[in-house]
Structure 1
Amino acid sequence: MRSIPMLAVDATDVFDEIAAAKLQPRRGLMRAARAEVLAAYQGYEDAAPEVGELDEAPLTDPQKEAMRHAFTVETQPMTALRGDLLKRISVARCPFCGISESSTLDHYLPKEQYPEFSIFPKNLVPSCAVCNTRKRDRIMDEGTNVRMFLHPCCDVIPDTAFLAVHTRMEADALILSYRLTRPAGMALQTFQHLRSHFNELDLADRYRRMGLEHLGGQYPALCRAYGPGEDAGRVAEKLIEGAEDFEEVSGPNYWVAKLYRSLAGNEDFCDGGFESVRPQPH
């Protein structure tokens, strides 16, 4: 979970270029809807990040279909926009989960309900396929009236510690358990928003599984730190150093940094328990 920079692009120019590249009759339909679409863009920017309850633009059914078609059947300008959004180094890792490669564009407001935002750059969020599939077309939590997912382009992710992981050794196996905690001073609605995002994207289990996989790759380094003298303290120091490096780049709630800090305080893991993450031969 992290914020990402907006793409420096003029949304009006994007709309005009894509509309001009479409064939008739969709070109004419998009141009006829231009005023309503651009007004919707302004409404989105004015409301952001609380865009979950925006009114739908008054488009005709053919205009709605043309707007969706502008995204799903790509023209050269749409292909260029996709590339500009996805190929930035800053969004190489999915901002929804912080785990996988950003390989798709998620419509934060779904294009089926809000076709006016089908090609609006601020509504197109780089994401991994897993998060895009899990998010689907959901927006608001009816029980809390809170948006179900963070908007990486618009929401400011708190820099106070809210992600935690508990680690323990059990029968020579490492057990990981990720959870969210509400820090002092955090507004309830902010925490509900974070918790909904965390739960709906199944991040506790995804972090657990990827954490174990990640540690397998660190096994040789942990062995070197432990050394012939079986120096558990050096293993803990190595983990703290790694946590600090990750925190400097990705912030205090990065799931790998949290894992390293928890393991650094786990005496059993540091004192040879890391053998539990030794990669198994294929």
Structure 2
Amino acid sequence: MRSIPLLDVDDTKVFDEITAAKRGQRRVRLTAARPAVLEAYERYDDATPEVGNLAHAVLTAPQEEALNHAFNVETAPMTEMRRSILKRISVARCPFCGISESSTLDHYLPKEQYPEFSVFSPNLVPCCSPCNTRKRDKILDDETDVRLFVHPHFDQIPTTLFLAADVDLRADAIVLSFRVTRPAGMALATFQSLQSHFRLLDLADRYRRMALEHLGGQYRALKRAYGPGEDADRVESELALTAEDFEKRYGENYWLAVLYRTLSFNEAFCNGGFEVLNGR
């Protein structure tokens, strides 16, 4: 989970260019919907990050279809905006999970429910396919009315440590798990949003699996650090430095930063316990 910059784009101009690129009745319908759409854009901007309860624009069914068509059947302006959003290095890694490549655009407010935001860049979040599939059309928790997912464009991800990893080192295996905790001073609504984001995107299992895969590739480096003198302190130092590097780049709650920091505190792992990674 991390914040990402917005694309610097004139969304009104993009909407008008997409409208001009359409033909026949869809162009007519987009033109007719324009005042309601631009008003909705303003409401979205004013409400951020709490956009979950936005009123729906008053649109006809054909206008809604034309708005969804504007995203689903791309014109040159839409293709260019998609390319501009996804090509940035700052969003190359999915901001929802921090694992995979951002290869698709998620509508933070689903376009099926909010077609007025189908081509609105602040509502288009670059992300990986697994996160896009898992997020689907969910917005608010039915009981708490809290947003179920962090909005990478507008939410400030807490800098206090809320992601935790647990390590169970066994004779022939390492068992990892990840969880979200509520640090002192964190608002309940913030914690609930982080917790649901973590749960609904299945991050506990995804982090666990990717962590095991990643660590398998680190065995030789850890073995070299340990050396013939079996220097556990050097292994601890290498792990801590790697954690620090990840923290500086992606923040303290980046899953690999948390993993390496946790392993650096594990005396048994540093003192040869990493051998369980051999052959993974």
TM bin (shorter chain): over 0.9
Query: Secondary structure at 1:146's aligned position in 2?
Result: coil
Give 1:22 deviation, angstroms. 0.9
Give 1:85 deviation, angstroms. 0.6
2:270 is aligned with 1:270? yes
Q: 1:62 is matched with which residue?
A: 62
Give 1:279 deviation, angstroms. 3.9
Count of residue pairs the alignment pairs up: 280
Q: 2:167 is matched with which residue?
A: 167
Distance 2:196 2:144 in 1: 10
Q: 1:199 is matched with which residue?
A: 199
Q: 1:223 is matched with which residue?
A: 223
Distance 1:184 1:142 in 2: 26
Q: 1:23 is matched with which residue?
A: 23
Give 1:171 deviation, angstroms. 2.8
| Paired residues of 2:146 and 2:189 also in contact (CA < 8 A) | yes
Deviations 1:232-252 (A, max 9, x none): 111110000000110011111
Structure 2 stretches lacking a partner, 5+ long: none
Structure 1 stretches lacking a partner, 5+ long: none
| Paired residues of 2:85 and 2:126 also in contact (CA < 8 A) | yes
Query: Secondary structure at 2:153's aligned position in 1?
Result: coil
Deviations 1:12-52 (A, max 9, x none): 01101111111111111101110000000000011111111
2:164 is aligned with 1:127? no
Q: 1:139 is matched with which residue?
A: 139
> TM-score, with normalisation over the residues of structure 2?
0.98
Give 1:100 deviation, angstroms. 0.4
Q: 2:188 is matched with which residue?
A: 188
| Paired residues of 1:172 and 1:273 also in contact (CA < 8 A) | no
Worse-matched range after superposition: 168-177 or 127-136: 168-177
Query: Secondary structure at 1:33's aligned position in 2?
Result: helix
Seen in structure 2, the aligned counterparts of structure 1 residues 167 and 57 have a Cα distance that, compared at 3 Å, is same
Q: 2:232 is matched with which residue?
A: 232
Give 1:278 deviation, angstroms. 2.4
The percentage of aligned residue pairs carrying the same residue is 67
Distance 1:125 1:180 in 2: 23
AA matched with 1:52: G
Query: Secondary structure at 1:112's aligned position in 2?
Result: coil
AA matched with 2:116: E
AA matched with 2:252: P
AA matched with 2:7: L
Q: 1:260 is matched with which residue?
A: 260
Give 1:172 deviation, angstroms. 2.2
Distance 2:142 2:35 in 1: 32
Q: 1:153 is matched with which residue?
A: 153
| Paired residues of 1:11 and 1:120 also in contact (CA < 8 A) | yes
Q: 1:245 is matched with which residue?
A: 245
Distance 2:65 2:233 in 1: 62
| Paired residues of 2:171 and 2:276 also in contact (CA < 8 A) | no
> TM-score, with normalisation over the residues of structure 1?
0.98
Distance 1:212 1:230 in 2: 23
AA matched with 2:243: A
Q: 1:95 is matched with which residue?
A: 95
Distance 1:29 1:56 in 2: 17
Distance 1:186 1:209 in 2: 28
Q: 2:72 is matched with which residue?
A: 72
Worse-matched range after superposition: 271-280 or 241-250: 271-280
Query: Secondary structure at 2:57's aligned position in 1?
Result: coil
Distance 1:120 1:82 in 2: 11
Distance 2:39 2:47 in 1: 12
Query: Secondary structure at 1:69's aligned position in 2?
Result: helix
Query: Secondary structure at 2:217's aligned position in 1?
Result: helix
2:20 is aligned with 1:3? no
Q: What is the alpha-carbon root mean square deviation over aligned residues?
A: 0.8
| Paired residues of 1:217 and 1:279 also in contact (CA < 8 A) | no
